[in-house]
Every structure is written in C-alpha cells, then in structure tokens.
Amino acid sequence: MKASSKALAASIARYRNILIVIKGSPDPDAIASSYAMSAVCRSLNVSCSMIATKKISLPENRAFVDILGIPLGISPHAPDTREFDAYIITDHPSLAARELVGDLPCAVYIDHHEPAEEKPKADFILRDVEAGSTCTLVALLIRELEKGLEPGIMTSVATALLYGIYTDTDKYSHAGRLDYEALDYLSRYADHDTFNRISSTPLSRETLRLLKNAIENKTPYKDWLIAGVGFVDSGERDSIAIIADFLLKREQFSTVIVFAAVEDPEWGHLTIDASFRSSSELLNLDGIIKQISPDGGARRFKGAYQVDIDYFLHCPDRHKLWDVIQLSTVELLKKSREDMYITELKGFYQKIRNRFRNYFK
C-alpha cells in the first residue's frame, strides 16, 4: 500500500461538493468504505452525499445501515449532478460510472479487486489486491490522516469499517497482513457491542428457502458445483453470495457458483446474478468471469457477474423463462470450466507483459 493520506486529503480538498456513488450491490464493504470517505470529506469541510442505485439486500445489511445511522440515499434514477463538482467511488473493479455521474471528474478511487481497466483516471487512486476488503485500505488511510475524525464519528466509522472487513473476508477466514493491521487499528475505536448486535442479525426465511433450492438443484461438473436458485427479489440479492459461501464449506468441490434471476418489478429490472466462491489459491476467477462479462470481476477466492435481461421482465411464463435461464447459465459455466486453462494461460502471459512494461517505465 503506497498511496498517502496527504495525497488523499489534497485530492478531496480541491472540491466543494462531492458525490459518493456505490456502483453495484450495496454490500457492507461498499457501504462502510463510502461512509468512511464521507466522514473524511466532512472533516476537511467538503460537502458530500452518498447514493446507491440498487436496494440494500438482506436483513443484516439493512440493520447495519439503520443501527449506525448511515446516511445512504437509494434511488433507481441517476442523481442530479449539477450541484456536485466531483465524485468518489470505492469497492468496484472500475471507476467508470458515466451513467451515474455524467462528466464529473473522479476525485478518489479505492478498491481491492482485480482491475477492470488498466489506467483509471482519478486525482487519487489506491488499489491493492492484497487487501481482503476495501475497508482495510480506507482504515489504513484514515490512520495516517493529519487531521483525524472527531471521536463520536470515529467510533461509528470504525465500527462500520470493522464490519465491512468481517463480511468481505468471510469472518476473517481470508484476512491477510493488511487486514489484520487495519483490524488492530479499528478495534481501538469501534463500538464492539454495536458490532456484535449487527453481526448477530439472523438470516432471513427467504435466504433459507433459497438455500434449500440450491441444494435440491445443484449440478456437479468436474471440480465445480453449479446451483441455480430461481427467481429472487432484489431485496434478497445478497442471499446468492451467502449460499455460495455455505455450499463451498459444505460440499466437496473446489469452486461453487450460485446464480439466480433477480427481479425488481417496481424499478423495472431483471438480471442474472452469479456468485463464485473457490478454495483454490491458483484459480484465476477474475479472468474466468471477465470472459463471461467484462463488467464482472473477482479477487482471490470470490467474484461475481451480473447480466441485464430487462427485456424478459414481463414474460408471462416464469417457469419456461427460468428453464431457459438455468439451461443457458449451466451450459455457459460448463464451457467456462472447459476453457479454464486457456484463460489461465492468457492471465499468465498478461502478467509477464505487465512486469516487462513496469520494468522499462
């Protein structure tokens, strides 16, 4: 981690009013890192607003936002950007968000995924795939800020960041050196009673129902397990990832993919969402997913992609539609498994080329 907190503060202080956008599903890592950046903005007397264009999924994630009072606006529509002069984005493989921010410049981009673009343009960039969570990187930046956060704000932010790391490292099971360094720092300021209250929120009945669907409809293929769970309300979107985590621990497969048709009739959206989980440290999940969808991505052990199928939102025969989605997705994933070694070789040669480029810079 080479970026400095001084450079972060200078990049934010250049602007008057910043829009903080959550691109993709607002999970705890994205929410907490965005919340922390809003606190940093305010500590520098820069106005800001946080927005997401997808609903918060899962009861525990909604409880997380409610209990900590995180000021997150949620709307299916792009915000009016005329009052803002820059944007911040965290926890996403790409900072490209023209559909949300128009022509606003990017003030800050912080992420821990494999990149979706080689040379992102922002005043401040911190991307480190060795971190298990974007919250880890944000916490280590806050630790070095010359002007720290006020005590009350720091308690709330530290608790949020702690929870973001907890969820994105699968309850610390995939935590590394940087994560433990951040946890050591955050634990001094976090409200541990509040953290325990958030982390003990039970799974919803819908998540348990979908888990049953996954177990009943799993398709083994070599060392992969593929499971479709059917139609899922957008408010339960994160159940897909939770089920993938569960099956990886329960079943004897190195890689698990769980997918669903996620529908939101109110906002007029229908997507295919797939979550990948793997126990293999050598598997290039990011390369495999990007062969399916360039907008998807992964880091070590976990990844996801989403495909927009709004066109089929009003299909009158849901059973036939799901049959098509399931058959197509399973066959696509089987082909991805067959092509895996070609993808691995491409990734290997790309790394070699990047090393040569960096050497001669």
Share of the chain above pLDDT 90, in %: 62
Is residue 83 predicted with pLDDT exceeding 70?
yes
Closest CA to 312 of 261, 237, 239, 273: 261
Looking at residue 341, its pLDDT comes to 67
Mean pLDDT for 179-190 is 94
**CA 171/CA 307 separation, integer angstroms:** 28
Q: What are the pLDDT digits (tens) for 256-278?
A: 999 999 998 888 899 999 999 99
Per-position DSSP letters for 142-164, written without gaps between them? HHT-SS---HHHHHHHHHHHHHH
SS3 category, 18: strand
Q: What is the pLDDT, as a whole number, of residue 317? A: 96
Which tens digit of pLDDT belongs to each residue from 30-52? 999 999 999 999 999 999 999 99
Q: How far apart are CA 88 and CA 40, in angstroms?
A: 12
Give dist(CA 49, CA 47) in Å, integer. Answer: 7
